[in-house]
Structure 1
Amino acid sequence: MLAPKIVLITGANRGIGLEFVKQFLQLKSPPKHLFACSRQPETAKDQSSIDSANAFVASKVQGDGVNLRINNAGIGVLSNIHEANREVMAKVYEINAIGPLMVVKSFLPLLKQAASVDPAAPLSCNRAAIINISTSLASISGNTSIGFHGITSGFYGYRASKAALNMITTNMSLDLKNDGILATAIHPGWVKTDMGGPNALIDTVTSVTRVMAVMGKLQGEEGTGKFYNGDNGELLGW
């Protein structure tokens, strides 16, 4: 059963992130503390803002650490090979790949602290976990056509930055396994949000319900370093 004690979610001001907040608070055993974070564009590249957030969380959890970090914040830019440029690519990478890495790096002591509370427990989202919200569009093995639901675009920045996030996820899973921290990427489906648009297939309630069901089943070494389709719980190809 999914019941982490301390949860921190980025991109929680709207869409999938906000729905995560709502559904965690509705659990039979809701978190003791839930930190809902949102990005401020003017300070998105400022490491001090991340460190300040870490210090604030540490002051509130009082030694419990952070059990579950959900990296949900991200942007999608519709760009084909003719529209992609250095500025667009750099911006998308900064937010979708570099940002989550820097946030995890800053919060790592709190994740390790949570994992150490029960060192004999298997890897899980209740003990200590990093869940990176990715996309099926980041699957290199699944990228057999540049079309996506009628849109003839390669999504160069979005696909590439999320593929980078997937690699970061596998690195984390290997680096942090011995610390008792799980790290996995999950595709939430094509969701009706500002990013997904009105023609998307599912709403935020359906998406988050399914993703949380996947998170609840992640156990042990089999649950870490994977890329799951939140729609059905099946593995996606890297």
Structure 2
Amino acid sequence: MICPRAVFITGANKGLGLEFVRQFLRLDNPPQQLFATCRDPENAVELRKLEDQNACVQVLKLDITCEADIKSAAREVESSLNNKGLNLLINNAGVTRKRQYVGNLNKEHLLEQFSTNAVGPLLVTQSLLPMLLKAAESRDTLVSCNKAAIVNISSILGSITESRSGGMYGYRPSKAALNMITKSLHEELKEKDILVTALHPGWVRTDIGGPEADMSPEESAKACLMVLSKLSKENSGRFLSYDGKMIDW
């Protein structure tokens, strides 16, 4: 069963991120503290409703490409946690650009995707790491998403092995970079009892996936939480799909 005490989610104002918040709140034992972040909290209407209806939800401003935002959000979380530690970080925020094919590439758009999909999650992780390490100090809990874990929402499109088509020259390489970051974090933190994994949520009907995608955000989030509930030290450092199967890097 997944029942982390404190959870932090990026990109929580819409799509899969918002559905993650909803699914955590529906658990039999929901988080005591759920930090839901987005770039523009004032206009995050649905997320604000959840905050008003649930005392555990705290909406924070966070543009993951802005270092000042990252540091500010980390300070707020540290203050709210009151030295209790952060159990689960879900780096969900991401971006893509359409028509990313040779002949139609734009340097600014390419760098934007690397900044959002790879560099941003790494810097967010770095800022929250002291709180994850605090949670990992618990000796009465096995390594899991209930103890201390970093989950990077990746994509099968970032798998070099599974690549069967061209294009998407910003999105694919930036997700491949996120996968490498995941593996490196695992190697660096495995002796600290922090679980790290990359998770492909499926082809989801979001701004990134588009209206023709196979899965609704609700279906994907439910499946992802089922995978997270089964993660352990033995399968840390892997690239997993929403159905629990391992994906080749």
TM-score, reference length from structure 2: 0.88
Change (3 A) 1:120 1:164: same
How far apart are the structure 2 equivalents of 1:44 and 1:84? Answer: 23
How many Å separate the matches in 2 of 1:115 and 1:83? 46
- Partner of 2:115 in structure 1? 94
Q: Which residue of 1 aligns with 2:247?
A: 236
* Matched residue type, 2:129: L
Question: What is the distance in 1 between the residues matched to 2:65 and 2:203?
Answer: 28
Q: What's the offset of the Cα at 1:86?
A: 1.7
In structure 2, the CA distance between the partners of 1:126 and 1:42, relative to structure 1 (3 Å rule), is closer
The one-letter code sitting in structure 1 at the alignment partner of 2:218 is: V
Q: Which residue of 1 aligns with 2:87?
A: 67
Task: Report the counterpart of residue 115 of structure 1 in structure 2.
Answer: 136
Shift of 1:42: 10
Letter of the structure 2 residue corresponding to residue 12 of structure 1: A
Q: Select which of 235, 244, 248 maps to 1:223.
A: 235
Q: Is the 8 A contact 1:66 1:128 kept in 2?
A: yes
Question: Quick one: which amino acid aligns to residue 10 of structure 1?
Answer: T
**1:4-15 counterparts in 2 under 5 A?**
4-15=4-15
- 1:55 alignment partner in structure 2: 75
RMSD over aligned CA atoms reads 1.5
Q: Tell me the secondary structure at the aligned position of residue 159 of structure 1.
A: helix
Does the aligned pair in 2 maintain the 1:10–1:39 contact within 8 Å? no
Amino acid at match of 1:225: G
Change (3 A) 1:157 1:39: same
Tell me, yes or no, if structure 1 residue 80 matches structure 2 residue 91: no
Aligned equivalents of 2:241, 2:62: Cα separation in 1 = 33
- The answer to whether the Cα contact below 8 Å between 2:64 and 2:121 also exists between their aligned partners in 1 is no
CA distance in 2, matches of 1:111, 1:12: 20
1:191-202 correspondence to structure 2 within 5 Å = 191-202=204-215
Write the deviation string for residues 169-219 of structure 1: whole angstroms up to 9, x where unpaired.
Answer: 000001011111111000000001122111000101100000000000001
- Aligned residue pairs: how many? 228
Shift of 1:39: 2.7
Matches within 5 A, 1:124-143: 124-143=144-163
Question: Residue 130 of structure 1 aligns to a residue in which SS?
Answer: strand
In the superposition, the TM-score normalised over structure 1's length comes to 0.92
Q: Distance in 2 between matches of 1:26 and 1:84?
A: 42
Gaps spanning 5+ residues in structure 1: where?
A: 147-153
Gaps of 5+ in 2: 41-60
